[in-house]
Amino acid sequence: MIVGAGIYQLPAIIAAKKMGLKVVAIDKNPSLEGMRLSDVPGEISTTDIENALILAKKNKIKGILTIGSDVSLPTVSIIAQKLGLKGLPLETIKASSVNKDKMLHKLSLAGLPVVTHRKFKRFKDCLNFAAKDKFPLILKPIDGWGSRGLSRVDSKKELKDAFDNAMSYSAKKEICAEEYVEGKDTTCEAFILKKRLVFSAFTEKRLTDPPYYAPVSHIMPLRIGRTRESELKGIVEKAADVMDIDEGPMDVDIRLTPSGPRIIELAARLGGNCVPQLVKESFGFDIIEAAINLSLGRRPKIKKTKKDFSGVSILGSKKAGYVKDIRGIEQARRIRGISEIYIDVKPGDSVNTFKTGSDRIGHIIARATTKERVKKNISHALNLLKIKIEK
């Protein structure tokens, strides 16, 4: 069973089908491509554990997972536990990115480098905290994902709107306030087997301009030298141990600051923003297939067969409105080195200003022997691809 059938779960559905598996997928949106491709599409919310379990039992599923969705992780964990399938305990999930305060607190107690943080339920308490020369701050829902409700706050006058925005995305009605630290961002896609880090790959990550911080692009691998990469690997492996992630994929966001790396977030799942696809493009290791095999109780093969550069550009609109016209897709796809172009929208669809992960309207994936060529290929594709937005 794949929990979710959106753009970031779609590769898992496709991979499972190629493996000859019967795919049961659930999502509240029946029109998604992932629902159409699955053998048994269930129009069920990814957080509706009761009905998802009924469907899972009916189809006698042998494995369950999600990609890029923190809100789906409790569903995955509970169903795996009830059906005796491979999966992480609910307590492990609850301490990861589904509760950002717990996650950062647990990592901090173990001596791992994290951003300074506090959780709040009331604006008054957040205001008192921020008044003590704490600006700039990052405010986010304690249980949010995909950059939803996340924003940077530089002054007291911006705090109330940011607080209300973060709170509107929180089911728990709690927000996490974090110190803002300057630095370069990276995402680590990792795989753990028998409590050992058996694979890791880091990206060069770019975000939207403040006050919002949605991922705009990733390039893999990150070139930082063996010593610094070894340091990061050590941090990721220790974090997995501290969070009781003994087996499975892990997605870790890290900021490389002048004073050293800081963990921003950690999730016990494969990442979104096409990062798992970049692993296959760069290293030949199908980390999605590995995660599927592990969920089925099979021992995944961890093997790098090549070492190229790859990158993804997440497409978004600079303004809200409606899609008037889309041109140049086929020309862009014919560019050498372009691996995939996926457009989420069609003429007539409404779009939002690109502020969060859910505001994306497509992506472009490219591969080449150098980072510079990857960037040029993506830039060339972007110049050919024309998505006209009108208000």
**Structure confidence by residue, pLDDT tens digits, 82-134:** 999 999 999 999 988 788 889 999 999 999 999 988 999 999 999 988 887 67
pLDDT tens per residue, the chain (391 residues)? 999 999 999 999 999 999 999 999 999 999 999 999 999 999 999 999 999 999 999 999 999 999 999 999 999 999 999 999 999 999 999 988 788 889 999 999 999 999 988 999 999 999 988 887 678 999 999 988 778 889 999 999 999 999 999 999 998 999 999 989 999 999 999 999 999 999 999 999 999 988 888 899 999 999 999 999 999 999 999 999 999 999 999 999 999 999 999 999 999 999 999 999 999 999 999 999 999 999 999 999 999 998 999 999 999 999 999 999 999 999 999 999 999 999 999 999 999 999 988 999 999 999 999 999 999 999 999 999 999 999 8
The fold of the 116-179 domain, in CATH, is Dna Ligase; domain 1 (3.30.1490)
Q: What is the pTM of this model?
A: 0.94
Round the CA-based radius of gyration of the chain to a whole number and report it: 20
The CATH H-level (homologous superfamily) assignment of domain 94-98+182-295 is: ATP-grasp fold, B domain (3.30.470.20)
**Structure confidence by residue, pLDDT tens digits, 247-280:** 999 999 999 999 999 999 999 999 999 999 999 9
The CATH H-level (homologous superfamily) assignment of domain 309-390 is: ATP-grasp fold, B domain (3.30.470.20)
Q: Which ranges in 96-155 belong to alpha helices (H)?
A: 100-109, 123-130
The fold of the 2-85 domain, in CATH, is Rossmann fold (3.40.50)
Taking the C-alpha atoms of residue 103 and residue 353, their distance in angstroms, rounded to an integer, is 30
The residues spanned by each domain of the chain are: 2-85, 94-98+182-295, 116-179, 309-390
Residues 6+ apart with CB under 8 A from 375: 219, 311
Phi, psi of 16 (to 5 degrees): -65, -40
Q: Which of 243, 178, 16 is nearest to 235 (CA)?
A: 243
- 309-390 matches 94-98+182-295 in CATH topology: yes
Q: Token match 């569903």: residue?
A: 75
Taking the C-alpha atoms of residue 267 and residue 74, their distance in angstroms, rounded to an integer, is 12
Tell me how many degrees the CA angle 386-388-389 measures, rounded to the nearest 5.
145
Identify whether the C-beta of residue 125 lies closer than 8 Å to the C-beta of residue 163.
no
Identify whether the C-beta of residue 218 lies closer than 8 Å to the C-beta of residue 204.
yes
